[in-house]
Amino acid sequence: MSVAHRLNGYDKGTELIAFRHTIPTNKLHVARVCAGVPGADPDIVGSYPLTPNAARRLAAAIGVQNLNIDRCDWFLEPAADWSTIDAKRQAAGVSDDGAREVEP
């Protein structure tokens, strides 16, 4: 069961997804540090808010340029089949707020 991860930006005005970029596996360590992911979540199955500076650092690490930091609220989030994520969240004891990603 592999979980992909994304840098997601939610428009501050509409709260809809406005930016999505997949994080390469070899950059997950940077994402983990930027988001402050606890050791209790080794697969990063939770949703972690990013400060503007953390979002900027993560974006630079994954090669994203010209990110409009002020437009969005930024998160490190899993992106996989929800049954996989739910199983990993349950195993890790990470709460599920019921939110689900919707493809635009």
Give the pLDDT confidence of 66-91 residue by residue, as tens digits.
Answer: 888 999 999 999 986 556 656 666 77
Q: What are phi and psi of 100, to 5 degrees?
A: -135, 140
pLDDT score for 104: 39
pLDDT tens track for 3-24:
789 999 999 999 999 999 999 9
**Terminus-to-terminus CA distance in the chain, angstroms?**
25
Nearest to 6 by CA among 26, 16, 20, 18: 20
Residue ranges covered by each domain of the chain: 4-92
3-class secondary-structure state, position 34: helix
pLDDT score for 55: 96
On whether the CB atoms of residues 38 and 95 are closer than 8 A, the answer is no
Whole-prediction pTM value? 0.76
* Sign of the four-CA dihedral 34, 37, 38, 43: negative
59 compared with 84, residue with greater pLDDT: 59
* Centroid of chain to Cα 46: 8
The top-level CATH class assigned to 4-92 is: alpha beta
On whether the CB atoms of residues 73 and 13 are closer than 8 A, the answer is no
